[in-house]
Amino acid sequence: MNALPTSSRAMIVVTHLLGVGHLARMAAVGRALVAEGWDVTLVSGGRPVPTARLGGCTLVQMPPVHCVGTDFRTLLAADGTAADATYLARRREALLEAYQATRPQALIIELYPFGRRALAGEFEALLERARSSDPRPAILSSIRDVLNPPSRPDRADEALARLARSFDGALFHGDAAVVPLGASWPTPPALERRLIETGYVHDGDVGTGNGGEDGRDEIVVSGGGSAASLPLCRAAIEAARLLPERRWRLLVGHGVAADDFAALGAAAPPHMVVELARPDFPALLARSALSISQAGYNTVLDLAAAHARAILVPFALGNEQEQTIRAGELARRGLASVLETAGLDGPTLAGEAARLLAEPRPDWSAIHAGGTKRTVGAVASVTERAGARAEAWRALDAALERARNAGRTLDFWLRDDDAVAPTPALDGYLDRARRWNIPAALAVIPARATPELAAYLADQPLVDVLVHGWSHRNHAPEGARASEFGIDRPEPDKRSDAERGLARIREVFGARALAVFVPPWNRIDPGFAAALPQLGYSGVSTHERRTGGAPAGLVTINSHWDPIAWKAGGGLKDEAKLLHLLRRLIDEELAAPAGTLEPIGILTHHLVHDGWIDRFLDEVFERLAGSGTARFVAAHDLFGEVREPAPAAI
The answer to whether residue 249 is domain-embedded is yes
Query: Residue 550 pLDDT > 80, yes or no?
Result: no
612 and 481 fall within a common domain = yes
User: What is the rounded average pLDDT of the residues 452-464?
Assistant: 93
pLDDT of residue 648: 33
Is residue 71 very low, low, confident or very high in pLDDT (cuts 50, 70, 90)? confident
pLDDT of residue 649: 28
Please give the residue that has the higher pLDDT: either 491 or 5: 491
The answer to whether residue 462 is domain-embedded is yes
The answer to whether residue 251 is domain-embedded is yes
31 and 156 fall within a common domain = yes
Query: Residue 639 pLDDT > 60, yes or no?
Result: yes
| Identity of the amino acid at 616 | F
pLDDT tens, position by position, 403-435:
999 999 999 999 999 999 999 999 999 999 999
Report the helix count and the strand count for the chain, using DSSP H and E.
Answer: 19, 21
Query: Residue 646 pLDDT > 50, yes or no?
Result: no
174 and 39 fall within a common domain = yes
The answer to whether residue 4 is domain-embedded is no
pLDDT of residue 644: 41
CB 412 within 8 A of CB 633: yes
pLDDT of residue 505: 97
- Residue 624: other Cβ atoms inside 10 A: 23
180 and 228 fall within a common domain = no
pLDDT tens, position by position, 190-223:
999 999 999 999 876 554 344 578 989 999 999 8
CB 31 within 8 A of CB 202: no
Q: What is the number of domains present in the chain?
A: 3
The answer to whether residue 650 is domain-embedded is no
- DSSP letter at 158? H
CB 612 within 8 A of CB 572: yes
Query: Residue 85 pLDDT > 50, yes or no?
Result: yes
Query: Exposed, middle or buried: residue 608 (CB in 10 Å: 0-12, 13-18, 19+)?
Result: middle
Terminal CA-CA length for the chain? 53
pLDDT tens, position by position, 222-280:
987 777 789 999 999 999 999 999 999 999 988 889 999 999 999 999 999 999 988 88
CB 12 within 8 A of CB 110: yes
Q: Name the domain boundary from 172, 201, 230.
A: 201
CB 512 within 8 A of CB 465: yes
User: What is the rounded average pLDDT of the residues 137-151?
Assistant: 94
Non-local (6+) Cβ contacts of 259 within 8 A are none
pLDDT of residue 5: 52
| Identity of the amino acid at 37 | G
- DSSP letter at 532? G
479 and 561 fall within a common domain = yes
Please give the residue that has the higher pLDDT: either 5 or 592: 592
The answer to whether residue 362 is domain-embedded is no
Q: Name the domain boundary from 177, 201, 225.
A: 201
140 and 283 fall within a common domain = no
Q: 3-state class of 270 per DSSP?
A: coil
Nearest CA among 335, 32, 300, 315 for reference residue 171:
32
Is residue 49 very low, low, confident or very high in pLDDT (cuts 50, 70, 90)? confident
Dihedral angle at the C-alpha atoms of 184, 185, 191, 197, nearest 10 degrees?
Answer: -20
pLDDT of residue 466: 98
User: What is the rounded average pLDDT of the residues 135-150?
Assistant: 95
pLDDT tens, position by position, 167-184:
999 999 999 988 899 999
Is residue 641 very low, low, confident or very high in pLDDT (cuts 50, 70, 90)? low
542 and 412 fall within a common domain = yes
H helix or E strand, kind and range, residue 12: strand 9-14
Q: Name the domain boundary from 201, 231, 251.
A: 201
Query: Residue 1 pLDDT > 60, yes or no?
Result: no
β-pair type (39-44, 555-556) = unpaired
| Identity of the amino acid at 380 | A
Taken in order 171, 175, 179, 183, the sign of the CA dihedral is positive
Outline where 4-137 has alpha helix (H). Answer: 21-35, 85-102, 120-131
Non-local (6+) Cβ contacts of 43 within 8 A are 11, 12, 13, 14, 60, 62, 95, 98
The answer to whether residue 570 is domain-embedded is yes
CB 69 within 8 A of CB 347: no
| Identity of the amino acid at 221 | V
Please give the residue that has the higher pLDDT: either 4 or 418: 418
Nearest CA among 161, 4, 164 for reference residue 572:
164
- SS3 of 555-583: the string is EECCECECCECHHHCCCECCHHHHHHHHH
Enclosing domain of residue 309? 210-357
pLDDT of residue 4: 54
Is residue 326 very low, low, confident or very high in pLDDT (cuts 50, 70, 90)? very high
Which CATH number is 353's domain given? 3.40.50.2000
321 and 423 fall within a common domain = no
User: What is the rounded average pLDDT of the residues 451-458?
Assistant: 95
Q: How many whole angstroms separate alpha carbon 436 and alpha carbon 621?
A: 7
Total residue length of the chain: 650
- Residue 388: other Cβ atoms inside 10 A: 18
272 and 316 fall within a common domain = yes
313 and 429 fall within a common domain = no
Compute CA 521 distance to the chain's CA centroid, rounded to the nearest angstrom: 29
The overall pTM is greater than 0.85: yes
- DSSP letter at 535? G
197 and 236 fall within a common domain = no
Is residue 650 very low, low, confident or very high in pLDDT (cuts 50, 70, 90)? very low
143 and 231 fall within a common domain = no
Q: How many whole angstroms separate alpha carbon 492 and alpha carbon 501?
A: 14
| Identity of the amino acid at 478 | E
Determine what percent of the chain is predicted with pLDDT higher than 70. Answer: 95
pLDDT of residue 205: 57
pLDDT of residue 545: 84
Which CATH number is 539's domain given? 3.20.20.370
Distances (CA, A) of 433 to 316, 416, 463, 464, 614: 47, 11, 9, 13, 11
Residue environment code for 525-554, b if the CB has 16+ CB neighbours within 10 A, otherwise e: beebbebbbebebbbbbbbeeeeeeebeeb
pLDDT of residue 77: 94
pLDDT of residue 6: 53
pLDDT of residue 647: 35
Nearest CA among 51, 47, 60 for reference residue 13:
60
Taken in order 5, 96, 623, 406, the sign of the CA dihedral is negative
The answer to whether residue 167 is domain-embedded is yes
DSSP β-bridge partners for residue 58: 41
Nearest CA among 391, 386, 455 for reference residue 426:
455
